């Protein structure tokens, strides 16, 4: 193989590597956008639950006083469970986001090397 053929083969290989990295980068950016959207949705849901929890605290206490039944602790426990589940989902979404950002950074570094 002469020098010209070798250079053409290397150029073709570099173009193919660049194409693959760019395709992976587009995929990861799309995943990042999806995860950011999901994170925003989870944050909104968490805020609604927090507001509902505050409302339940106030209404649960009055229910307890008006009916002389221990409903406030049950309502409070259910709200805490919902908040804990929402926090867990939010934390998981944040971890997934960190993973995608890490992969995007790795691909960006690969693109810079090309």
- pLDDT tens track for 37-53: 888 888 888 788 778 77
* Per-residue pLDDT at 56: 60
**Residues 90 and 46: beta-carbon distance below 8 Å:** yes
Domain boundaries of the chain, sorted by first residue: 3-113
Structure tokens, 11? 């150029």
**pLDDT confidence band for 112 (50 / 70 / 90):** low
Q: Is the pLDDT of residue 67 over 60?
A: no
Angstrom distance (rounded) from CA 12 to CA 4: 12
Angstrom distance (rounded) from CA 35 to CA 25: 15
In this predicted model, what pLDDT tens digit does every residue of 80-92 receive, in sequence order? 788 888 888 888 8
CA-nearest of 95, 93, 104 to 38 is 93
Convert 44-65 to b/e letters by CB count within 10 Å (16 or more is b). eebeebeeebeebeeebeeebe
Convert 5-24 to b/e letters by CB count within 10 Å (16 or more is b). eeeeeeeeeeeeeeeebeeb
**pLDDT confidence band for 114 (50 / 70 / 90):** low
pTM over 0.75: no
* Per-residue pLDDT at 62: 46
In this predicted model, what pLDDT tens digit does every residue of 10-36 receive, in sequence order? 888 878 877 887 788 788 888 888 888
What value does the CA radius of gyration of the chain take, rounded to a whole number of Å? 26
């Amino acid at each position: 193989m002469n020098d010209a053929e070798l250079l053409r083969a290397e150029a073709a290989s570099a173009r193919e590597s660049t194409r693959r990295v760019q395709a992976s980068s587009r995929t990861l950016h799309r995943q990042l956008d999806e995860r950011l959207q999901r994170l925003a949705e989870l944050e909104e849901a968490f805020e609604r639950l927090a507001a509902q929890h505050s409302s339940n605290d106030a209404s649960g206490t009055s229910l307890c006083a008006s009916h002389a039944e221990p409903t406030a602790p049950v309502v409070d426990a259910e709200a805490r469970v919902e908040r804990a589940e929402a926090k867990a989902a939010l934390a998981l979404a944040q971890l997934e986001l960190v993973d995608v950002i890490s992969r995007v950074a790795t691909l960006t570094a690969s693109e810079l090397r090309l």
